[in-house]
Amino acid sequence: MAEAANKKTAPRGLRLVAGFQKHWRLHILALPVLIYMLLFSYAPMFGVVLAFEKYTVTRGFFGSEWVGLRNFEFLFATTDAWRITRNTVLYNIAFILLNTTLSVLLALVLNEMYLRRLSKSIQTLLIMPYFLSMSVVAIIVYAFIGPTGVVNSLIKASGQRAMTNWYTYKPLWPFLLVFVNAWKGVGYTAIVYVASISGISQEYYEAAVLDGASKLQQARYVTLPHLRHIIVIMLILSMGGMFRGDMGLSYNVTQNSGALYEVTDVIDTYVYRALKTLGNTGMSTAAGLYQSLVGFVLILISNRVVKHVDEESALF
């Protein structure tokens, strides 16, 4: 007791040194990750200064003209600001709600499979699309809805007139983009939930069986309550990307079709095209900074709300 009291009253610096000496092996193991984070996550943050400059390569970081918040006017003063913001937010809301629901349902189904080998095989097949690049996904989509693709071939085989170009048909794409995003990401997220379910004690299920609970009731009253925390954490983290569009999905899969900009254009694709046209590095940096700050604020707000409702489910 006296030793513990002395440790608490010791100067903080000495406590840190003592803690390092006691756990020095763990600190050495963490050192490569710490160096990686410093070099590739924190050091590049110096480039944020470009958001407030009219950057030119010849003048560099310190010699370029300081323009203040003028670069941010590009996003807010343009007539397309409402359209790209609307598309970005609505797509992310659809992605979060649909993918979370499908992932949880898929995890429940996989957990109830009696044949474990079959379950593992299905998990492998479901997670494979996650590792495909969006360029490959764009080729797959084109193989289905291209001029000579599967869809047009089936329409022609039925005796009807096929669509000349699906890449100009706007009503299709909001649903198609949501479907492609779910097809690519649901399998990976479901595996995360399956791993969480495997950590639930079997005693809960045995007690539920003794009480006469069906499989559906077990999922509702045992599995889902135990998944509540991980689901909420995943949702909070997803809120950080609410103003950040999927560049590969909105640009590659749509073949950057100008006829679809009204329903597929997001902040990232709009800024990318503007950067290619204008070559304004400061403008693109301002857009990235704006997205990051808004995402950070949304994470704080959503975590605060969750903490008020259920403190144990909060991220911090």
Question: In this predicted structure, what is the pLDDT of residue 137?
Answer: 94
pLDDT range class, residue 276, cuts 50, 70, 90: confident
Between 78 and 140, whose confidence is greater? 140
Tell which wins on pLDDT, 2 or 259.
259
Tokens of 112: 């109830």
Which residues does residue 65 pair with via DSSP β-bridges, in sequence order?
Answer: 54
**pLDDT value, residue 45:** 86
Of 10-19, 64-73, 139-148, 306-315, the one with minimum mean pLDDT is 10-19
DSSP the chain: -HHHHHHHHS-HHHHHHHHHHHTHHHHHHHHHHHHHHIIIIIGGGGGGGGGGEE--TTTHHHHSEE-TTGGGHHHHHSTTHHHHHHHHHHHHHHHHHHHHHHHHHHHHHHHT-S-HHHHHHHHHHHHGGGGS-HHHHHHHHHHHHSTTSHHHHHHHHTTSPPPS-GGG-GGGHHHHHHHHHHHHHHHHHHHHHHHHHHTS-HHHHHHHHHTT--HHHHIIIIIHHHHHHHHHHHHHHHHTTTT---HIIIIITTTT-GGGHHHH--HHHHHHHHHHHH--HHHHHHHHHHHHHHHHHHHHHHHHHHHHH-GGG---
Can you give the pLDDT at residue 10?
Answer: 58
Inform me whether the pLDDT recorded for 161 exceeds 80.
no
With cut-offs at 50, 70 and 90, classify the pLDDT of residue 113. confident
91-105, 140-154, 215-229, 273-287: range with lowest mean pLDDT: 273-287
What structural domains and CATH numbers belong to the chain?
71-313 (1.10.3720.10)
Q: Determine the average pLDDT of the residues in 2-30.
A: 70
Task: Kindly report, residue by residue over 25-57, the tens digit of the pLDDT.
Answer: 888 888 999 999 999 988 888 888 888 988 888
* Lowest model confidence (mean pLDDT) among 72-81, 137-146, 296-305: 72-81
Residue 101 has pLDDT above 80, yes or no: yes
Q: Is the pLDDT at 12 greater than 60, yes or no?
A: yes
CA distance 237 to 207: 34
